[in-house]
Structure 1
Amino acid sequence: MDIGQKIRDLRIQKNLTQEELGERTDLSKGYISQLEHDQSSPSMETFFDLLNVLGQTPAQFFTETPNQQLVYTKADQVVYEDQERGYNLRWLVPESNENEMEPVMIQFDHAGEFKTFEPSPAETFVYVVSGRVQLALGDQCYVAKKGETIYFHATQQHKIINVAKTTSEILLVATASYL
């Protein structure tokens, strides 16, 4: 285990500069840099102070993280079909509803429509892969066709509808448990 690299990674995850971490632990920016580059080793007291600021216990710090899956194949994807509303939804990343972003592909039949969503703090990005879709956002309607995007804050009731004469497909990425 590279202790200096792990300290650096945790500092970056906490959005701290070396100077800010130094201020919170009464250490100099230069000393933090030396620790991160394995040019110096902290005393036990200093190490525990660093872990406290970085929000880690010693057990958490020294536990090896299993390799995360970064590439997802078609076999990893989960498909849901709603024949009544005329769409197929494909989760591109399994269990993505537990993450900050949730990417899905939605294929609409002619006149298919995704369910109506109530207002939320989510942000939503839609890329139209094929066809033409309409976003009903509050009292307003917006149309995007193949190659165009829609980006909105979901602060009003909203729904996506296929307005093409054929099928349409979109890539939708939403934040904070949108689906």
Structure 2
Amino acid sequence: MTYGEKLRKLRMALDLTQEEVAIRADLARSFISQVETDKTSPTLDNLERILKAVGSTLQAFFSEEEEEKVIYRKSEEVPLYDQPVGVQTTLLMNEVENKKIDALLVTLKPGSKTDEEDYHSGDEFGYVLAGTIHLILDGVDYQCEKGDSFYYRADKKHSVMNQDPTVKAKFLWIKID
């Protein structure tokens, strides 16, 4: 976003006209228009006056606000390598600030099993995309087939296994803080 666009956005958020900003900043309306359309650049003094007219400051205006990331591309996925033999885990959302979930895509080769996780805070949700998995919670075995989902509080020992001797299993595993 250009500086002019950013100034226009600030003005519009307050439902002010260019004329109102010009009066508050003691500048010409045509100048405000040219600044907002990036046809001219204001001096630092004029920029400060415009910002004051829309209730902002130089510091706030130039602070880096990162756009919220919405789409996570396949090319950005991160394979996790410290997995047991036969377990392929991919982190679907990488480098998310203040994230409260981890979204994992897990493929289990026939006969493979995830590491058993100890008790921890949070919740976990899963959706079976292919094959059949066995969710083991504190020693209790729950069988889930393609299209089934599961949910549990993570305050139990838990692991997931594929007991099928010939077919891979795949599931989406969401870990919520």
TM-score (norm 1): 0.62
Unaligned runs of 5+ in 1: 6-35, 40-57
- 1:175 Cα offset (Å): 1.3
* CA RMSD, 1 decimal: 2.9
Unaligned runs of 5+ in 2: 1-5, 17-57
- 1:84 Cα offset (Å): 4.2
CA contact (8 A) 1:81 1:87 kept: no
| Residue identity (%) | 20
- What's the counterpart of residue 42 of structure 2? none
Change (3 A) 1:83 1:93: closer
Change (3 A) 1:61 1:155: farther
Deviations 1:19-59 (A, max 9, x none): xxxxxxxxxxxxxxxxx7547xxxxxxxxxxxxxxxxxx95
Larger of the two Rg values belongs to structure: 2
Change (3 A) 1:128 1:153: same
Paired with 1:116 and 1:98, the residues of 2 have a C-alpha distance of: 26
- What's the counterpart of residue 173 of structure 2? 172
- 1:61 Cα offset (Å): 7.8
Equivalent pairs counted in the alignment come to 131
Change (3 A) 1:151 1:83: closer
CA contact (8 A) 2:132 2:144 kept: yes
2:71 match: secondary structure: coil
CA contact (8 A) 1:106 1:169 kept: yes
Paired with 1:81 and 1:168, the residues of 2 have a C-alpha distance of: 18
